[in-house]
Amino acid sequence: MSIRYDGKVAIVTGSGGGLGRCHAIELAKRGAKVVVNDLGGSVDGTGAGSDAAQAVVAEIEAAGGEAIANGANVAKYDEVEMMVKQAMDKWGRVDILVNNAGILRDKSFAKGTLEDFKLVLDVHLMGSVNCTKACWEIMREQAYGRVVVTTSSSGLYGNFGQTNYGSAKMGVIGMMNTLAQEGAKYNIKINALAPTAGTRMTEGLIPEEAFALLTPETVTPAVLFMVSEDAPTRTILSAGAGSFAVARIVESAGAWLPPEEQTPEGIAAHWDAISATEGETQPQMGAEQTMKMVGLAMEGLGLNNG
């Protein structure tokens, strides 16, 4: 089975270099028409320029593909709207959105400023919200859409000095979880990439030998799969060095405590049962947690829930 995107239009943000560039080039190789979006700034988000995006477009065109460059700042909704309009004016549809744009302002929480925190949230989280919002109605009307948000192990598991980045990267998971439900009847699927790659954002953080294995090319296949016709939805796919894994948010089976033990001391006394990994589940919607908690209580109280 060959996965292709003939007749599909893709927007890839932050695709002037690194992972985004690789995503854009590979989508184009498989038939997609691509909007190469890049603000052209440095890793910390300062500066701007169109050279990087134009170079990727030239590379795609040289290989026989179709692409246009766009310099929208994803943190500014009016610019994002114009980017989507540019795609619609040129090709008449938007099928695939890869939210890849990002910046770093790494500092410990004690030393970091709130201004930097907000800026990182604006680019990673609100940038993903802005781009997805601008494409959402188009995808609903055409009854087709594939969206990827970019999360990170820093958000899923934590990483020293990246409170701002980790908060934003966990935020996009909350966005994905709900949009997967809202988009289901319109054939809109949304997934998350948790990449490990040797890019300018990770240079100097990873040993040289390992860095050589962590090429963007070993991550991009995960994106290509997640934006395909038969993609899953609401999946966190980790990728790096040619290895792939699925990350999940699970909840323990839990335990009901009788009224006299519904105290902090009671929780402490029953902690092993409350936190046991046996019987863990992966809830598909928030209401499942409520139903489970009530079900445990009714069982504990001996009430008939029929």
SS3 for 41? coil
Buried b (16+ CB within 10 A) or exposed e, 164-195: bbbbbbbbbbebbbebbeebeebebbbbbbbb
With left for phi above 0 and alpha for psi between -120 and 50, is residue 220 left, alpha or beta? alpha
CB atoms within 10 A of CB 57: 24
Closest CA to 23 of 205, 302, 218, 206: 218
Beta strands, E only, 38-165: 67-70, 96-99, 145-150
Residues annotated as catalytic are: 165
Is the sign of the CA dihedral 224, 230, 234, 240 positive or negative? negative
CA distances from 54 to 46, 71, 94, 214 (A): 19, 10, 20, 25
Closest CA to 216 of 5, 36, 21: 21
d(C-alpha 271, C-alpha 162), whole Å: 30
Closest CA to 223 of 30, 41, 17: 30
Closest CA to 249 of 193, 180, 160, 177: 177
Count of all residues that appear for the chain in the document = 306
